Amino acid sequence: MKILILGAGGFIGSHMVEHLISMGEHDVVGVDITHEKLAGIEGENFIFHEMDVRQDDEPVRGLIGDADLVVDLVAYANPSLYNTTPLEVFDLNFYQNMKVLRMCLENEGVKLVQYSSAEVYGKLTEGERYYEDESDSVFGPVDKQRWIYATSKVLLERVIHGHGTAGNIEYTIIRPFNFCGSRIDYLVPANSQGGPRVFAHFMSALLTGGRIQLVDGGDAHRSFLHVWDANRAFQTILDNPSATRNQIFNVGNPDNNITIRDLASLMIELYEELTGETSRSDVVDVDGEEFYGEGYEDSDRLVPDITKIRSLGWEPEYNLRDTLRETMEYYLKQWTEVGEGLLTG
């Protein structure tokens, strides 16, 4: 197949490209506005185009016209942006993805793999699990801007599903639950707020000796999945075209569920184990709206049910400790090589 990856330069995309190059089964075309995360990732079956799906309509349409499978990873997936730039989040995560969908619809026979989000479930109460085809979605009020991301993704899923049931396209939707691994995010100076996702914040704090900040008590849960397992899940989708046609899959590791407070303790423990040094970072509590800006509300994000993708033979293999340890090792190596130049912002 010819696989077009939109958003190939991001965290998930760059790992997907690496995986597909190593498999050597398909021709892979990558599109993104940046390619730093693809540095050193090369293969005879991979071509990269620097393009912006927001502007380069005709070139992107041409690439979609040539593809057998389009993987759409284009998104802002960083909670700090949901509050500060909700309209940009809506534009990219809904409108621009809709444009990609329309281009796919023009190209009969192309299949779409759309990366969505665990956040489409919104807030569930403790004890509940997320089932792809059964769970309800509950979101906060409109003035809690955080939900612009989730609702953009829900709407996109609904339109794709509508076209799927009308027989206009074959699609698979993946709902990622906190993929984690090398290149996940940029690091930030000590005591920064907003910015990247939690792993990068805690890693930055450990490296700089800054504070580890627990938003709203650190009681929220997340299930972390090693990006290597995420690549294997994607491969499972490729290997099972008929079972995955017009289906939605949770991709996560229910065994790697942890509160953010416990994540902080575990990362401190791993940091001390890996470096042989005592952590200089204090763990402090911060208010969510102070950290992210007005309109922040957390997504509790409890345990994903993965029965559906398990039935295709996929099983996550990395436990939480090894997932975090490997990712931390990557950033510790970078820190040794680059030092403070690694910090953005």
Active site residues: 149
Residue range at the interface with ligand UDP (CB under 6 A); choices 5-13, 123-131, 194-202, 250-258: 194-202
Residues of this chain, 218-257, that bind ligand UDP according to CB under 6 A: 218, 220, 222
**CB-nearer residue toward ligand UDP: 247 or 299:** 299
Residues of this chain, 140-159, that bind ligand UDP according to CB under 6 A: none
CA angle 231, 165, 67 (to 5 degrees): 45
Give the H or E element holding residue 47.
strand 46-50
User: Is there binding between residue 302 and ligand UDP (CB under 6 A)?
Assistant: no
User: Is there binding between residue 206 and ligand UDP (CB under 6 A)?
Assistant: no
The one among 96, 151, 178, 208 contacting ligand UDP by CB under 6 A: 178
Residue 309 neighbours by CB under 8 Å, 6+ apart = 233, 236, 249, 250, 251
**CB-nearer residue toward ligand UDP: 105 or 190:** 190
- Residue environment code for 221-255, b if the CB has 16+ CB neighbours within 10 A, otherwise e: bbbbbbbbbbbbbbbbbbebeeebeebbbbbbbbe
Residue 118's nearest CA partner among 170, 194, 180, 59 is 180
**CB-nearer residue toward ligand UDP: 7 or 218:** 218
Per-residue x/- mask for ligand UDP, residues 72 to 111, rule CB under 6 A? -------x--------------------------------
User: Is there binding between residue 16 and ligand UDP (CB under 6 A)?
Assistant: no
Tokens of 68: 């057998």
Residue with the two structure tokens 């997932």: 323
User: Is there binding between residue 198 and ligand UDP (CB under 6 A)?
Assistant: yes
Pairing state between β 247-251 and 212-215: unpaired
Q: Applying CB under 6 A, which residues contact ligand UDP?
A: 79, 178, 197-198, 201, 213-215, 218, 220, 222, 260, 298-299
